Amino acid sequence: MANESIVLPEGWRFPTAEELSDEPGRKDSPAKYAKTVADFNGDGIEDEAYLLKSTKFSGEGLWIFLSDKRKDFRWLRLNTIDWGKDYPKVNLSMGIDTVKPGEYKTACGKGYFKCEKGEPEILKLKRPAIDYFKFGSANSFFFLDDQTGDFKRIWISD
C-alpha cells in the first residue's frame, strides 16, 4: 500500500499491517481500503488519497496527495479523528474508496435528516470523489467543489 517515493506530511505515517488487520472487510481491497487513486481535481493527473496514522496523538486522518500542474503535488488534510489519551492504541477505523462520476442520493435526500441550505438531495459528480466510510456504518463523499476550489464533504448515509 505504501508509496515509498512520497514524503508524508510531518506528524503522519502509514498504518501498520496490524492496524489494518482487525476489520474483516479490508481483505476485499488490495490497499485494505486505506488508499485510493483517481484524478480528483480534473487536471488529467492521478491523485492519491490515504488514511494515515498520527505520530503526535492517538488518531488518524484522511489526506490527499493532490496534483497541481503549476506546483507539482501538495498534501491536503480532509478529515481527522482524535481518539484522545484514553485510547492510545486504536487501529485504523475508517476506509476509503473511489466514487465514480454520476448521481448519488445524499443522506438528507434519503430522509435521514433535513437538507441544510446548499445541501442537495442528489449529488451530481462530474469527476471521481473519495468515499470515506466506517465499515457497516456511515459514509460521506469528499469531492472538489468547482465554485470554491476546496474539497467539500457530503453525507451519503448516517
Any domain includes 5: no
Could you read off the pLDDT of 19-59 as tens digits, one per residue? 999 899 999 999 999 999 999 999 999 999 999 999 999 99
Q: Given the C-alpha cell 492504541, which residue does it identify?
A: 89
Statement: residue 71 has pLDDT above 70? no
Task: Count the neighbouring beta carbons within 10 Å of the beta carbon of residue 146.
Answer: 10
Amino acid at 69: K
Any domain includes 3: no
**Element holding 97 (H helix, E strand):** strand 94-99
Any domain includes 39: yes
pTM of the model: 0.93
Any domain includes 7: no
Any domain includes 4: no
Any domain includes 2: no
Could you read off the pLDDT of 91-148 as tens digits, one per residue? 999 999 999 999 999 999 999 999 999 899 999 999 999 999 999 899 999 999 988 9
- Number of compact structural domains in the chain: 1
Any domain includes 55: yes
CB of 35 within 8 A of CB of 96? yes
Any domain includes 51: yes
* Domain span at 17: 12-157
Rounded to an integer, what distance in angstroms lies between the CA atom of residue 144 and that of residue 73?
A: 16
CB of 131 within 8 A of CB of 118? no
Rounded to an integer, what distance in angstroms lies between the CA atom of residue 69 and that of residue 87?
A: 41
Q: How many CA atoms lie within 13 A of 51 on its CB side?
A: 25
